[in-house]
A and B are shown apart, each in its own frame.
Chain A
Amino acid sequence: MGRSILISSILHTLLIMITALSLPFLAKKPINLPPIVSIELIQITDKTNIPFAPKAKKIIEKVKEKEKKLVSEQAPPKKVKKIKPESIPMPDDKVKKVEEIKEDKQNPEKIDDEIKQVSEFEKKELIDPNNIAALIDKAKVENAKTTNKKDKITQDQQRSVENIGLSLSEEDALKAQIFGCWSIPLGLPYNENLLVRIKLELNPDGTVSQSEILDHARMNKPGQGFYKVLAESALRAIKLCQPLRVPTTGYERWKELQLNFDAREMLEG
């Protein structure tokens, strides 16, 4: 009896000792996780608009470079065949070229026949009826690219990122870029609604794959001619600014973007 009590107490003591010694080792394990400092920094920029401190900026740039390298290793960019620019026609070729172009949709010779010389000082609009439908379609949705290029690495990175809007600093960067590209038409009536909403579909590199004017019906309404001028100026600004200054990460967040161009503030002064 006494022997068995002794064995039991020895074993219990041993068990307690093993537990006491092994538990701290188990607890230490999570501390040995890879460093998370850089991740912390990126998250801060996502949520504030405080400019980077010079040191932090360097670190972030290093991280970005690493990410870039990763992207290039795993998803090499597609090799696109260079299309030869149309060569400048030589004197001999000239006649042939002109004839070829004349057969194009916008054929001025066809239009010539439609114009009647009635008054002494006559003006006529040159419209190709075959082209109207195409023009309307083009104005509404412009497809710059049809390829569905998707970067796997960028998508993977986004799984951990919440589906939130752009941070203030990211939004400011984009705004500042577009401010520089947008030439506001000065003749717009500033007592009218001067808001043009454009929905963009972006590629990961910031280029625009599709743009759509959301209030497209307003373009053809009588008395709203200025709206067309405004919408076109906004589209020009987007084209001129390409690629847009979008964040390097979080493609899923900003792959669709709506830009609200409002000229009233500028025109009212």
Chain B
Amino acid sequence: MKKFFYLILIFVIPIKAFALIEVDITRGNLNPLPIAVSPLSIDDNSKKNFEKILKKKNIGSEISSVVENNLKISGLFNPLNKDAFLQAPEIANLKPRFEDWNLIKAQALITGKVNYVDEKLRVEFRLWDVLAGKEMMALAFTTVPNNWRRVGHIITDKVYERLTGEKGYFDTRIIYVAEEGPKTKRIKKLAIMDQDGANNKFLTLGNELVLTPRFNPTSQMVTYLSYFRNLPRVYLLDIETGMQEVVGDFPGMTFAPRFSPDGKKIIMSFAKDGNSDIYTMDLENRIVEKITNHPSIDTSPSYSPDGKYICFNSDRSGYQQIYVMKSDGSNVKRISFGKGLYGTPVWSPRGDLIAFTKLHKGKFYIGVMRTDGSGERLLTENYYQEAPSWSPNGRVLIFYRETKTNDKGEGFSAKLWSIDLTGYNERLVKTPVDASDPSWSSLLSN
């Protein structure tokens, strides 16, 4: 009887002890996070020195403006109006009065200061969690004064990573084809700029036609296609040194050379004996290897980030569709089955998605699908747009769009646009002239 009583107790006591109420929170909001970017404080002496070197009145405010603009264009943050800030930058950097920042509904706060040390720019910044009232991160950078914009981008990357959980994409550059003149006599030059459109530079003179520049995912090298005496040539260009070399002359129609994830190979398509197939070229020994062997037209190859798979474009089913195969050319599988034609597949650096251009009923769409072809989502629609390129964190796509310049449908203009994976944050990327074929670099600093 006693044993029976203890047995009952064993069952009853735990039930009483675990009577804690649990509530599952499975939804949240995707609203931009309100963040206050306090201008970086600067002492008078540093201010004067930087004014002399950089011709900027207050470099602290300039850097914080770069950060603020980056956060805003990401679509994930809502930088608050500086007029509402109650605390002075130099005091906020030492110890923020969280009640004041709470009052203007800021959830995060960035403070910092700028110094002139041994002819160098020293920037320190701190990220604060306003609601918890604690410091989340503090970093300091020392660099040459001319790098001040990059400091702003690096700060944004760090803040972005700390608050969203994924790497940023702000300390990056975009290479594109700058276009000028009428459509029949178009001058095309290679151009490069920061991801926010600043520091635009032209890399070629425009006397040769250039096409499809693509960044090496591991370094600041670019491969592109240029026509020399009406023959397509594949070039390699080192952005840091400006050195350029010819990889090789290829026959017939050559398309879109692209680097392998380790940067050691180039993958492209060209037509040999009247049939377009996919080839790779080892950059060290220049050995060319044929990957596909099919009577159909195979183009636009792109490696998966682990280098094990390749996605490409083929009309072997009768219509242009997207296919995936192993990197040795085996196990070819069609993944796109929707209505319309699919082209320019690009594997995301995260590895989870493939971006593409789709043509259906006279309209062009930029979309994404999973690597098995499921979950197709069309992000943006227009009359002519193509060539998506991923940001290094796989969250944003940049592409180009051609539009008519007036209501009568005369003239045309090509511009770069970016859109994030939500499909809501579409933005025009400003370029000094018309632009096409963009390619996003990897992060300049890690």
Q: Verify A260–B164 contact, CB threshold 8 A.
A: no
Q: Among B21, B97, B107, B162, point to the contact of A257 (Cβ < 8 A).
A: B21
Is there a chain B Cβ closer than 8 Å to A213's Cβ?
Answer: no
Stretch at the interface among B133-141, B220-228, B248-256, B281-289: B133-141
A251-268 interface bits toward B, Cβ cutoff 8 Å, 1 = contact, 0 = none: 001101111111101100
Stretch at the interface among A11-19, A59-67, A119-127: A119-127
* Chain B residues in 8 Å Cβ range of A259: 22-23, 25
Is there a chain B Cβ closer than 8 Å to A243's Cβ?
Answer: no
Is there a chain A Cβ closer than 8 Å to B186's Cβ?
Answer: no
Is there a chain A Cβ closer than 8 Å to B124's Cβ?
Answer: yes
Q: Verify A108–B94 contact, CB threshold 8 A.
A: yes
Instruction: Tell me the nearest residue of chain A to B420, going by C-beta.
Output: A186
A97-B91, A187-B166 in contact; A121/B28 too (CB < 8 A)?
A: no
Q: Verify A256–B20 contact, CB threshold 8 A.
A: yes
* Chain A residues in 8 Å Cβ range of B22: 257-260
Q: Verify A104–B94 contact, CB threshold 8 A.
A: yes
A239-B132, A254-B21 in contact; A101/B28 too (CB < 8 A)?
A: no
User: CA–CA, A230 to B163, complex, Å?
Assistant: 9
Q: Verify A188–B23 contact, CB threshold 8 A.
A: no
Q: Verify A98–B132 contact, CB threshold 8 A.
A: no
Instruction: Tell me the nearest residue of chain B to A135, going by C-beta.
Output: B134
* Chain A residues in 8 Å Cβ range of B395: 186-187
A101-B91, A182-B28 in contact; A188/B165 too (CB < 8 A)?
A: yes
Instruction: Tell me the nearest residue of chain B to A225, going by C-beta.
Output: B165
* Chain B residues in 8 Å Cβ range of A88: 86
Per the 8 Å Cβ criterion, residues 392-446 of B in contact with A are 393, 395, 445
Q: Verify A265–B26 contact, CB threshold 8 A.
A: yes
Is there a chain B Cβ closer than 8 Å to A68's Cβ?
Answer: no
Stretch at the interface among B29-37, B177-185, B321-329: B29-37
Q: Verify B138–A126 contact, CB threshold 8 A.
A: yes
User: CA–CA, A187 to B164, complex, Å?
Assistant: 5
Is there a chain A Cβ closer than 8 Å to B376's Cβ?
Answer: no
Is there a chain B Cβ closer than 8 Å to A138's Cβ?
Answer: yes
How many of B's residues come within 8 Å of A, CB to CB?
A: 57
User: CA–CA, A32 to B57, complex, Å?
Assistant: 86
Per the 8 Å Cβ criterion, residues 332-353 of B in contact with A are none
User: CA–CA, A135 to B132, complex, Å?
Assistant: 12
Q: Verify B94–A229 contact, CB threshold 8 A.
A: no
Could you tell me which A residues sit within 8 Å of B by CB distance? 85-86, 88-89, 97-98, 101-102, 104, 106, 108, 111, 115, 117, 120-127, 135, 138, 142, 163, 165-166, 171, 174-175, 178-189, 199, 225-226, 229-230, 232-237, 239-240, 253-254, 256-263, 265-266, 269
User: CA–CA, A123 to B86, complex, Å?
Assistant: 30
Stretch at the interface among B142-150, B268-276, B312-320: B142-150
A226-B165, A256-B21 in contact; A179/B27 too (CB < 8 A)?
A: yes
User: CA–CA, A263 to B29, complex, Å?
Assistant: 11
CB proximity of B175 to chain A, nearest CB, Å: 22
Q: Among B26, B93, B166, B375, point to the contact of A266 (Cβ < 8 A).
A: B26
A179-B28, A257-B23, A262-B24 in contact; A124/B140 too (CB < 8 A)?
A: yes
Per the 8 Å Cβ criterion, residues 77-111 of B in contact with A are 86, 90-91, 93-95, 97, 99, 107
What are 6 residue pairs bridging A and B, where the CB atoms are less than 8 Å apart in the complex? Answer: A111-B124, A123-B154, A124-B140, A126-B139, A184-B29, A186-B76
A101-B95, A108-B124, A236-B131 in contact; A183/B445 too (CB < 8 A)?
A: no
Is there a chain A Cβ closer than 8 Å to B56's Cβ?
Answer: no
User: CA–CA, A120 to B20, complex, Å?
Assistant: 56
CB proximity of A183 to chain B, nearest CB, Å: 5
Is there a chain A Cβ closer than 8 Å to B126's Cβ?
Answer: yes
Instruction: Tell me the nearest residue of chain B to A105, going by C-beta.
Output: B95
Could you tell me which B residues sit within 8 Å of A by CB distance? 19-31, 33, 76, 86, 90-91, 93-95, 97, 99, 107, 113, 117-118, 120, 124, 126, 129, 131-132, 134-144, 147, 154, 161-167, 375, 393, 395, 445
User: CA–CA, A226 to B166, complex, Å?
Assistant: 8
CB proximity of A212 to chain B, nearest CB, Å: 12
User: CA–CA, A128 to B134, complex, Å?
Assistant: 13
User: CA–CA, A204 to B79, complex, Å?
Assistant: 35
CB proximity of B348 to chain A, nearest CB, Å: 13
* Chain B residues in 8 Å Cβ range of A101: 91, 94-95
Q: Verify A117–B120 contact, CB threshold 8 A.
A: yes
* Chain A residues in 8 Å Cβ range of B131: 235-236, 239-240
User: CA–CA, A262 to B140, complex, Å?
Assistant: 34
Q: Verify B134–A174 contact, CB threshold 8 A.
A: no
CB proximity of A7 to chain B, nearest CB, Å: 58
CB proximity of A47 to chain B, nearest CB, Å: 15
Q: Verify B165–A260 contact, CB threshold 8 A.
A: no
Instruction: Tell me the nearest residue of chain B to A127, going by C-beta.
Output: B138
Q: Verify B29–A183 contact, CB threshold 8 A.
A: yes
Q: Verify B163–A121 contact, CB threshold 8 A.
A: no
Q: Verify B142–A122 contact, CB threshold 8 A.
A: yes
* Chain B residues in 8 Å Cβ range of A179: 25, 27-29
CB proximity of A240 to chain B, nearest CB, Å: 6
User: CA–CA, A111 to B124, complex, Å?
Assistant: 11
* Chain A residues in 8 Å Cβ range of B120: 117
Q: Among A98, A174, A253, point to the contact of B90 (Cβ < 8 A).
A: A98
**Residue of A97, A123, A266 ringed by the most chain B CB atoms within 10 A:** A123
CB proximity of B49 to chain A, nearest CB, Å: 17
